[in-house]
Amino acid sequence: MRLLVSVANAAETSAALAGGADVIDAKNPLAGALGAVSADVLREIHATVAGARLVSAAIGDAADETEVERAAGASAAAGAALVKLGFAGITSASRVGELITAAVRGARAGSGGAGGVVAVAYADAGRVASLPEGAFIDVAARAGATGVLLDTADKSGPGLRGLMTPRTLARWVAEAHDAGLLVALAGKLTADDLAFVRDAGADIAGVRGAACDGGRTGRVSSDKVALLRELCGPAKAGHYGRHDYVRHHYVRGVRL
Protein backbone atom coordinates (compact mmCIF):
# COMPACT_ATOMS: atom_id res chain seq x y z
CA MET A 1 0.00 0.00 0.00
CA ARG A 2 1.28 3.48 -0.87
CA LEU A 3 1.43 6.35 1.60
CA LEU A 4 0.12 9.77 0.56
CA VAL A 5 1.14 12.70 2.71
CA SER A 6 -0.64 16.05 2.34
CA VAL A 7 1.75 19.00 2.43
CA ALA A 8 1.12 22.74 2.55
CA ASN A 9 4.41 24.03 1.16
CA ALA A 10 7.85 23.14 -0.16
CA ALA A 11 9.42 22.73 3.30
CA GLU A 12 6.82 20.14 4.26
CA THR A 13 7.38 18.47 0.91
CA SER A 14 11.05 17.98 1.75
CA ALA A 15 10.12 16.43 5.10
CA ALA A 16 7.59 14.08 3.49
CA LEU A 17 10.12 12.98 0.90
CA ALA A 18 12.77 12.41 3.56
CA GLY A 19 10.32 10.21 5.45
CA GLY A 20 9.60 8.09 2.38
CA ALA A 21 6.14 9.24 1.30
CA ASP A 22 5.04 7.62 -1.96
CA VAL A 23 2.66 10.38 -3.07
CA ILE A 24 2.98 14.09 -2.30
CA ASP A 25 -0.41 15.77 -2.04
CA ALA A 26 -0.68 19.57 -2.14
CA LYS A 27 -3.36 20.79 0.26
CA ASN A 28 -4.07 23.79 2.47
CA PRO A 29 -5.23 22.27 5.78
CA LEU A 30 -6.50 25.65 6.98
CA ALA A 31 -9.10 25.69 4.20
CA GLY A 32 -10.97 22.49 4.99
CA ALA A 33 -10.74 18.86 3.95
CA LEU A 34 -9.86 19.70 0.35
CA GLY A 35 -8.41 23.18 0.64
CA ALA A 36 -6.35 24.18 -2.38
CA VAL A 37 -2.89 25.73 -2.26
CA SER A 38 -2.09 28.57 -4.64
CA ALA A 39 -0.69 27.85 -8.08
CA ASP A 40 2.66 29.32 -7.01
CA VAL A 41 2.87 27.04 -3.97
CA LEU A 42 1.89 24.04 -6.09
CA ARG A 43 4.68 24.84 -8.55
CA GLU A 44 7.14 25.07 -5.65
CA ILE A 45 5.97 21.69 -4.32
CA HIS A 46 6.28 20.16 -7.78
CA ALA A 47 9.78 21.61 -8.20
CA THR A 48 10.84 20.23 -4.81
CA VAL A 49 9.60 16.75 -5.73
CA ALA A 50 11.55 17.07 -8.99
CA GLY A 51 9.93 14.04 -10.57
CA ALA A 52 10.81 11.68 -7.71
CA ARG A 53 7.20 11.08 -6.66
CA LEU A 54 3.71 11.53 -8.00
CA VAL A 55 2.14 14.87 -7.06
CA SER A 56 -1.58 15.26 -6.45
CA ALA A 57 -3.49 18.40 -5.50
CA ALA A 58 -6.80 19.16 -3.81
CA ILE A 59 -8.97 21.71 -5.60
CA GLY A 60 -11.87 21.92 -3.16
CA ASP A 61 -15.54 21.02 -3.41
CA ALA A 62 -17.01 21.45 -6.87
CA ALA A 63 -20.10 23.53 -7.60
CA ASP A 64 -19.71 25.10 -11.05
CA GLU A 65 -18.54 23.23 -14.16
CA THR A 66 -16.66 26.16 -15.66
CA GLU A 67 -14.83 26.88 -12.43
CA VAL A 68 -13.94 23.27 -11.71
CA GLU A 69 -12.63 22.78 -15.24
CA ARG A 70 -10.49 25.90 -14.85
CA ALA A 71 -9.19 24.86 -11.41
CA ALA A 72 -8.36 21.33 -12.56
CA GLY A 73 -6.55 22.67 -15.60
CA ALA A 74 -4.55 25.19 -13.59
CA SER A 75 -3.48 22.56 -11.05
CA ALA A 76 -2.50 20.11 -13.77
CA ALA A 77 -0.50 22.80 -15.54
CA ALA A 78 1.27 23.60 -12.24
CA GLY A 79 2.42 19.99 -11.87
CA ALA A 80 -0.37 17.92 -10.35
CA ALA A 81 -0.66 14.51 -12.00
CA LEU A 82 -3.96 13.94 -10.20
CA VAL A 83 -6.45 16.52 -8.95
CA LYS A 84 -8.86 15.74 -6.12
CA LEU A 85 -12.31 17.26 -5.78
CA GLY A 86 -15.29 16.74 -3.51
CA PHE A 87 -18.98 17.45 -3.74
CA ALA A 88 -20.21 18.92 -0.47
CA GLY A 89 -23.76 20.22 -0.88
CA ILE A 90 -24.52 18.03 -3.91
CA THR A 91 -26.68 14.91 -3.58
CA SER A 92 -27.60 14.52 -7.25
CA ALA A 93 -25.67 11.71 -8.92
CA SER A 94 -26.10 13.27 -12.36
CA ARG A 95 -24.76 16.60 -11.14
CA VAL A 96 -21.75 14.95 -9.53
CA GLY A 97 -21.09 13.17 -12.82
CA GLU A 98 -21.22 16.44 -14.76
CA LEU A 99 -18.74 18.07 -12.40
CA ILE A 100 -16.32 15.13 -12.56
CA THR A 101 -16.50 15.21 -16.36
CA ALA A 102 -15.67 18.93 -16.32
CA ALA A 103 -12.69 18.30 -14.02
CA VAL A 104 -11.45 15.51 -16.30
CA ARG A 105 -11.57 17.90 -19.27
CA GLY A 106 -9.58 20.48 -17.34
CA ALA A 107 -6.98 18.05 -16.01
CA ARG A 108 -6.35 16.62 -19.45
CA ALA A 109 -6.13 20.04 -21.07
CA GLY A 110 -3.76 21.37 -18.42
CA SER A 111 -1.45 18.37 -18.65
CA GLY A 112 -1.40 17.72 -22.37
CA GLY A 113 -3.73 14.76 -21.97
CA ALA A 114 -1.92 12.94 -19.16
CA GLY A 115 -3.65 14.26 -16.02
CA GLY A 116 -6.37 12.50 -14.08
CA VAL A 117 -9.06 13.14 -11.51
CA VAL A 118 -9.68 11.55 -8.12
CA ALA A 119 -13.30 12.03 -7.10
CA VAL A 120 -13.81 12.33 -3.35
CA ALA A 121 -16.70 10.70 -1.51
CA TYR A 122 -17.32 11.50 2.14
CA ALA A 123 -17.91 8.77 4.69
CA ASP A 124 -19.72 11.44 6.73
CA ALA A 125 -21.75 12.59 3.71
CA GLY A 126 -24.76 13.43 5.88
CA ARG A 127 -22.79 16.17 7.62
CA VAL A 128 -22.22 18.08 4.38
CA ALA A 129 -25.19 16.97 2.25
CA SER A 130 -23.02 15.07 -0.22
CA LEU A 131 -23.71 12.02 -2.37
CA PRO A 132 -23.37 8.91 -0.16
CA GLU A 133 -20.36 6.70 -0.83
CA GLY A 134 -22.57 3.77 -1.82
CA ALA A 135 -23.90 5.69 -4.83
CA PHE A 136 -20.56 7.18 -5.78
CA ILE A 137 -18.51 4.53 -7.54
CA ASP A 138 -20.58 4.07 -10.67
CA VAL A 139 -20.90 7.84 -11.12
CA ALA A 140 -17.14 8.37 -10.83
CA ALA A 141 -16.31 5.54 -13.23
CA ARG A 142 -18.81 6.66 -15.86
CA ALA A 143 -17.59 10.25 -15.70
CA GLY A 144 -14.00 9.25 -16.45
CA ALA A 145 -12.34 9.55 -13.05
CA THR A 146 -9.00 7.83 -12.58
CA GLY A 147 -9.71 7.04 -8.96
CA VAL A 148 -11.84 7.59 -5.90
CA LEU A 149 -10.95 8.72 -2.41
CA LEU A 150 -13.13 8.02 0.61
CA ASP A 151 -12.45 10.76 3.15
CA THR A 152 -14.20 12.70 5.91
CA ALA A 153 -15.47 16.23 5.39
CA ASP A 154 -15.80 17.22 9.04
CA LYS A 155 -12.35 17.08 10.60
CA SER A 156 -13.84 17.76 14.04
CA GLY A 157 -16.00 14.63 13.82
CA PRO A 158 -15.18 10.92 13.77
CA GLY A 159 -12.55 9.52 11.43
CA LEU A 160 -13.00 6.91 8.75
CA ARG A 161 -12.47 4.02 11.14
CA GLY A 162 -15.29 5.28 13.36
CA LEU A 163 -17.67 5.58 10.43
CA MET A 164 -17.11 2.37 8.43
CA THR A 165 -17.00 -1.26 9.50
CA PRO A 166 -14.15 -3.35 8.06
CA ARG A 167 -16.58 -5.42 5.99
CA THR A 168 -18.40 -2.42 4.55
CA LEU A 169 -15.15 -0.66 3.71
CA ALA A 170 -13.63 -3.74 2.05
CA ARG A 171 -16.76 -4.16 -0.04
CA TRP A 172 -16.61 -0.52 -1.16
CA VAL A 173 -12.94 -0.84 -2.13
CA ALA A 174 -13.63 -4.07 -4.05
CA GLU A 175 -16.51 -2.45 -5.95
CA ALA A 176 -14.31 0.48 -6.90
CA HIS A 177 -11.58 -1.87 -8.12
CA ASP A 178 -14.15 -3.80 -10.13
CA ALA A 179 -15.11 -0.51 -11.76
CA GLY A 180 -11.48 0.03 -12.79
CA LEU A 181 -10.70 2.75 -10.28
CA LEU A 182 -7.65 3.51 -8.18
CA VAL A 183 -8.74 3.58 -4.51
CA ALA A 184 -7.43 5.84 -1.75
CA LEU A 185 -8.69 6.02 1.82
CA ALA A 186 -8.24 8.89 4.26
CA GLY A 187 -10.17 10.60 7.03
CA LYS A 188 -8.30 11.37 10.27
CA LEU A 189 -6.22 8.21 9.90
CA THR A 190 -3.73 7.49 12.68
CA ALA A 191 -0.81 5.09 12.75
CA ASP A 192 -3.12 2.57 14.42
CA ASP A 193 -5.58 2.82 11.51
CA LEU A 194 -3.20 1.85 8.72
CA ALA A 195 -3.68 -1.90 9.15
CA PHE A 196 -7.46 -1.30 8.92
CA VAL A 197 -6.97 0.56 5.64
CA ARG A 198 -4.48 -1.95 4.26
CA ASP A 199 -6.76 -4.88 5.11
CA ALA A 200 -9.60 -3.18 3.24
CA GLY A 201 -7.52 -3.46 0.06
CA ALA A 202 -6.79 0.23 -0.55
CA ASP A 203 -4.08 1.22 -3.01
CA ILE A 204 -3.24 4.40 -1.11
CA ALA A 205 -3.59 5.58 2.50
CA GLY A 206 -3.79 9.37 2.85
CA VAL A 207 -2.66 11.22 5.97
CA ARG A 208 -2.11 14.75 7.20
CA GLY A 209 -2.50 15.07 10.97
CA ALA A 210 -0.76 11.77 11.71
CA ALA A 211 2.28 12.97 9.77
CA CYS A 212 2.54 16.29 11.59
CA ASP A 213 3.92 17.66 14.82
CA GLY A 214 0.94 19.51 16.25
CA GLY A 215 -1.87 17.80 14.33
CA ARG A 216 -3.24 18.55 10.87
CA THR A 217 -2.52 22.29 11.12
CA GLY A 218 1.01 21.65 12.38
CA ARG A 219 4.10 20.80 10.32
CA VAL A 220 4.99 17.55 8.59
CA SER A 221 7.62 15.53 10.44
CA SER A 222 9.96 13.28 8.49
CA ASP A 223 10.20 10.92 11.48
CA LYS A 224 6.43 10.53 11.68
CA VAL A 225 6.22 9.98 7.94
CA ALA A 226 8.89 7.28 8.18
CA LEU A 227 6.93 5.45 10.86
CA LEU A 228 3.71 5.65 8.85
CA ARG A 229 5.50 4.44 5.74
CA GLU A 230 6.80 1.41 7.61
CA LEU A 231 3.31 0.61 8.89
CA CYS A 232 1.92 0.69 5.35
CA GLY A 233 3.99 -2.36 4.50
CA PRO A 234 5.75 -3.05 1.19
CA ALA A 235 4.71 -0.79 -1.67
CA LYS A 236 3.65 -3.70 -3.85
CA ALA A 237 2.11 -3.17 -7.25
CA GLY A 238 -1.62 -2.92 -6.64
CA HIS A 239 -4.73 -2.28 -8.66
CA TYR A 240 -4.16 0.75 -10.83
CA GLY A 241 -7.32 1.06 -12.84
CA ARG A 242 -8.44 0.87 -16.41
CA HIS A 243 -6.51 3.90 -17.69
CA ASP A 244 -3.36 2.94 -19.58
CA TYR A 245 -1.01 5.25 -17.70
CA VAL A 246 -2.31 3.99 -14.37
CA ARG A 247 -2.37 0.33 -15.42
CA HIS A 248 1.35 0.59 -16.19
CA HIS A 249 1.99 2.16 -12.76
CA TYR A 250 2.90 5.58 -14.11
CA VAL A 251 1.11 8.92 -14.05
CA ARG A 252 2.76 11.68 -16.09
CA GLY A 253 5.97 9.68 -16.18
CA VAL A 254 6.22 9.14 -12.42
CA ARG A 255 6.15 5.63 -11.04
CA LEU A 256 3.26 5.18 -8.61
Residue 242 has a pLDDT of 38
How far apart CA 176 and CA 147 sit, in angstroms, is 8
- Residue of 27, 155, 188, 224 with catalytic role: 27
203-254 pLDDT tens trace? 999 999 999 999 999 999 999 999 999 999 987 544 444 343 343 344 444 4
Tell me the whole-structure pTM to 2 decimals.
Answer: 0.92
Active site residue 188: no
What residue ranges of the chain have pLDDT lower than 50?
Answer: 237-255
Q: Are 152 and 188 in contact (CB under 8 A)?
A: yes
- Residue of 84, 155, 188, 224 with catalytic role: 84
Instruction: Concatenate the DSSP letters of all residues of 83-139 into one string.
Output: EEEE-TT---HHHHHHHHHHHHHHHHHHHTT--EEEEEEETTHHHHT---GGGHHHH
Please work out, in degrees rounded to the nearest 5, the angle formed at the alpha carbon of residue 251 by the alpha carbons of 26 and 63: 50
| Domain range for 65 | 2-255
Residue 234 has a pLDDT of 84
Active site residue 84: yes
Total structural domains within the chain: 1
- CATH code at 40? 3.20.20.70
